Amino acid sequence: MDNRPIGIFDSGIGGLTAAKVLEELLPREDIIYFGDSGRNPYGGRSRAELVKLSGEDADFLAGMGVKAILAACGTTSTNAMPELRRSRPDMPFFDVLDAPCLRVCDVTKSGRVAVIATEATIRTGAYERRLKELDGGLDVFSLACPEFAGMVERGHFRSGDPIAEDAVERALAPLRRYGADTLLLGCTHFPLLSDIIARVLGGITQVSAGAEAAAKLSGELAAARLLSERSERGRHDYYTSGDPAVFAAGAEIFLGHAVEPKRHIIT
């Protein structure tokens, strides 16, 4: 048993797609969330920059005394995990790569699947590689959507928002022609656009990298007997390197409850 908090980080509010599931699955756990909105987006950065930024995000959480860290960011998960794990060999690190790939293999019927993510993620080919390792018969179409994460950070993600509707419509046009039955959202910001994606792509099954990773993390902490033994509800603390009011506005719409993020600037 371990009463220390679970740490989650992302380049902004995207990792809340994991935090929300974790809050539901493990209501007694304390969670410390760090959204690096002040340095968002991560998706256009080099691998070296991503290693540095993600290392600083993890350092902040480790300094807060967390028992495990979820890199709730597809871009970090595909570019910086070996370095993160090497820098803190005693810290259990989780990513958002493996669990959603397993789910895609479970749910696809046609074997024709697609991955959308940031440019830095698609550049690595990591999701496509993992999917094909799991099922060599899959046809995988990978597409970078470089505009989406920044747009979501700026609050454009709700159904009917003309900026978000237009961006999704334009970016996903190649996917309409491809005709996948399953879509892996390999950037944790993208599930905030789920309703718009569903309208643009019709009946496609969407798999959220953050949600799947949170479910896996919950199972692994339970199996390792690392869950809290308390009976009361856990505390959820949110930190952002951006504007707390902007973070709170996006977070509250998505989480469905009020949050009071504190400012933390990484220098």
List residues with catalytic annotation: 73, 187
Angle between helices 244-255 and 16-25 (to 10 degrees): 50
H-run or E-run covering 216: helix 209-223
Binding piece for ligand DGL, criterion CB under 6 A, among 40-48, 60-68, 84-92, 219-227: 40-48
Binding string, 215-254, against ligand DGL, x = CB under 6 A? Answer: ----------------------------------------
In terms of Cα–Cα distance, which of 196, 237, 234, 194 is closest to 218?
234
In terms of Cα–Cα distance, which of 152, 167, 168, 164 is closest to 247?
152
Number of Cα atoms under 13 Å in the Cβ half of residue 117: 32
Residue whose CB is less far from ligand DGL, 8 or 227: 8
Distance CA 12, CA 226 (A): 27
Binding status of residue 69 toward ligand DGL by CB under 6 A = no
Nearest distance, CB of residue 137 and ligand DGL, angstroms: 27
Which regions of 147-218 does DSSP assign to beta strands (E)? 182-185, 205-208
CB 8 within 8 A of CB 73: no
Binding status of residue 10 toward ligand DGL by CB under 6 A = yes
Binding string, 103-142, against ligand DGL, x = CB under 6 A? Answer: ---------------x--x---------------------
H-run or E-run covering 134: helix 126-134
Residue whose CB is less far from ligand DGL, 42 or 60: 42
Residue whose CB is less far from ligand DGL, 234 or 238: 238
Nearest distance, CB of residue 159 and ligand DGL, angstroms: 20
Residue whose CB is less far from ligand DGL, 9 or 67: 9
Distance CA 134, CA 46 (A): 28
- Scan residues 178-217 and list those touching ligand DGL (CB under 6 A): 187-189
State the amino acid at position 200 in one-letter form: V
Residue whose CB is less far from ligand DGL, 14 or 244: 14
Which residues of this protein are in contact with ligand DGL, per CB under 6 A?
10-11, 14, 40-43, 73-75, 118, 121, 149, 187-189
